Amino acid sequence: MTDVVSDADKALKAKHRAMWAFGNYPELASDLISELGATIVEACGIGDGQRVLDIAAGSGNASIPAAQAGASVVASDLTPELLESGRRRAEELGVQLDWQQADAEALPFADDEFDVVMSTVGIMFAPHHEASAAELIRVCRPGGTLGLINWTPEGFIGQMFATMKPYAPPPPPGATPPPRWGDEEHVRSLLGDRVTDFSAARNTLSVSMFSTPEEFRDYFKERYGPTIATYRNLGDDADRVAALDRDLADLARRHDNGSGTLEWEYLLVTARKAE
């Protein structure tokens, strides 16, 4: 049974790796969520001499600002194509980081190795939340800082996943929906008494890049791995494709604040590992 589960898990992780290589997530992160990196660096108080791990770092949206703040940073991610994009960007900026391929649910780092362990809309996509939370805490030193930014279930991106769900393949057994990491009570339950000084706040990211709901939809269809994967699941079913096209545009239309700006809600969590 163990081997069967292991094989299934390996297949799932391979599927996730491939999904995040679809499209152009580094461009999307740069265009839309770049300010979140600076937000988490400030919230965690990252500075000179600290050893920092960014879990599910993607192309370094938070890792690079952490390194620019003077920290020694390991940027880890399941998808090597994202790390390679981040490495190129860091080189252009003259910033040194350690880029390592790693599974958030089985990190290749020692216990208590880092002063700060963080993730910005990354760890939420690891399917088994209890496993990734355990790893998040394990590699942080006692008294060290944990920092998380994740999309809320009720916010725009959480609702985008809810919109895509009827069109996507069923989730694997035991997987928890990604936006649950944006629910304060869920995160509290994941971290439990292994942390102290738990703080959570809902904030919003204002996105004014798209002039129409259809422009938002088409941008995500071309660049965002989960959206691309959902459309691929529909194959040549033109009616279902048209329905998803309509639903995603309607989502953006409902969340327009009246000036063409979309407000994307996220949960910012900080805590300390119990000593």
Q: In this structure, what CATH number is given to the domain that contains residue 123?
A: 3.40.50.150
- pTM score, whole prediction: 0.95
Give the domain extent around 97.
2-160+173-205+265-273
Look at residue 61 in the predicted model and tell me its pLDDT.
97
At 215-272, the pLDDT tens digits run 999 999 999 999 999 999 999 999 999 999 999 999 999 999 888 899 999 999 999 9
Is there a domain that residue 193 lies in? yes
* Cα 120 from chain centroid (whole Å): 5
Mean pLDDT, range 199-208, rounded to an integer: 97
State yes or no: pLDDT of 6 exceeds 80.
no
Is there a domain that residue 121 lies in? yes
* Cα 265 from chain centroid (whole Å): 14
Look at residue 2 in the predicted model and tell me its pLDDT.
33
Confidence of residue 1 (pLDDT cuts 50, 70, 90): very low
Number of domains in the chain: 1
Is there a domain that residue 57 lies in? yes
Least confident of 23-32, 105-114, 170-179, 260-269: 170-179
Residue (of 188, 180, 189, 118) closest to 155 by Cα position: 180
Confidence of residue 87 (pLDDT cuts 50, 70, 90): very high
Is there a domain that residue 67 lies in? yes
Average pLDDT, the chain: 95
Is there a domain that residue 243 lies in? no
Convert 106-142 into a string of H (helix), E (strand) and C (coil).
ECCCCCCCEEEEEEECCHHHCCCHHHHHHHHHHCEEE
Is there a domain that residue 45 lies in? yes
Is there a domain that residue 215 lies in? no
